Homo-oligomer: A and B are copies of this chain.
Amino acid sequence: MKSEVKRYLSNIVEVLEPRLEALLPDETETPASIHKLMRYSLLEGGKRVRPALIMASWEICGGAFGDDRPVLAGAAFEMLHTFSLIHDDLPCMDDDDYRRGKLSAHKAFNEALAVLGGDALCIYAFECLANLGNLEIIKEISRALGTGGMIGGQVVDIESEGKRVDRSIIEYIHTNKTAALIRASVRTGAMLADANEITLQHLTKYGKCIGLAFQVVDDILDEEGTTEQLGKDAGSDRAQGKATYPSICGMVESKQYATRLVDCATDALKPFGEKATVLRSLAEFVRNRVS
């Protein structure tokens, strides 16, 4: 099962990387510095989980093999995810020096360029999304990114630093900061394939559950992983007084919760039967991932 997911993810990477490479302006194009930063931050990094979810969701909804649209959507999601990481790492935010095993953008370049490079990736993503030819998807993703989604979660995350918060706040942060965009990636794949409303509801439940599971596991890894495994500073959540599941509920309960969420995601896939093998394996992958 595990090697099957790895194969799926590496296939995604194989299709996605040249597409990202071609979508971004060349390093020699003026202004060269920001193009270097964008390529440095976006290329050759990350597990590409969101593009994999888009593709698997597209396939389960009957999307045809070889269609470029789910790949383009995956590229846009990786740009958006990277935009959020670059801004999150800034000194005025989480102040993280490492990301994906190398210096974060503002350390490798400078702060001004990191702000603008993040902005540019966000804008490029919307250009890619416009090229998908589907306005509903642009609305869906804007909502997932805005203050009722990812940005909202990031605001509450920062404002909760060093405070004793209750579980409902953690739930709010993770539902918005991480799960909103993961949920949107699952929905985007289905919307591209013109899924019906009932199918979309099942996949939305799946997306929300694995989105939350992803972040709970992230919290656990931050406590238990090494900097080398994670590609970023281990233990940085605790050092910054971040509101995390382990800090509120303890490690045992956090692991149980991650398992419950993955079960809930798998449960939502029942109506799809055998067709859901990849999405089911991706949920398992989220539970078992090392970084």
Contacts and interface: CB of A to CB of B under 8 A. Distances in A.
Interface of A: 25, 29-31, 33-35, 38, 83, 87, 90, 92-93, 110-113, 115-116, 118-120, 122-124, 126-127, 129-131, 133, 135, 138-139, 142-143, 145-148, 151-152, 154-156, 158-159, 172
A31 B143 contact: no
Number of copies of this kind of chain in the complex: 2
A283 to B, nearest CB: 28
Given A29-B147, A30-B156, A92-B110, 4 more contacts: A25-B148, A130-B138, A133-B135, A135-B135
A172 B29 CA distance: 14
A145 B138 CA distance: 17
B110 A147 contact: no
Given A90-B115, A111-B92, A120 B34 contact: no
Contacts of A120: 146-147, 151
Contact of A146 (B30, B123, B151): B123
B87 A116 contact: yes
B93 A115 contact: yes
Contacts of A130: 135, 138-139, 142
A115 B116 contact: no
Contact of A155 (B33, B90, B123): B33
B152 A123 contact: no
Given A112-B92, A138-B126, A146-B127, A119 B34 contact: no
A216 B192 CA distance: 45
Please provide the 3 A-B residue pairs with the shortest distance between their CB atoms, ordered closest to farther: A127-B142, A92-B111, A130-B138
A131 B92 CA distance: 33
B139 A87 contact: no
B31 A155 contact: yes
Given A93-B112, A111-B92, A33 B159 contact: yes
Contact of A34 (B35, B93, B123, B152): B152
Given A127-B146, A130-B139, A158 B112 contact: yes
Contact of A115 (B92, B113, B135): B92
Contacts of A83: 119
A35 B122 CA distance: 20
Contacts of A116: 87, 151, 154-155
B139 A123 contact: no
Contacts of A123: 122, 142, 145-146, 151
28 contacts: A25-B148, A30-B172, A31-B155, A31-B156, A31-B159, A33-B155, A34-B147, A34-B151, A35-B147, A87-B116, A90-B112, A92-B110, A92-B115, A93-B115, A112-B158, A113-B155, A115-B115, A116-B155, A118-B119, A122-B122, A123-B146, A123-B151, A124-B146, A126-B142, A127-B143, A130-B138, A131-B139, A133-B135
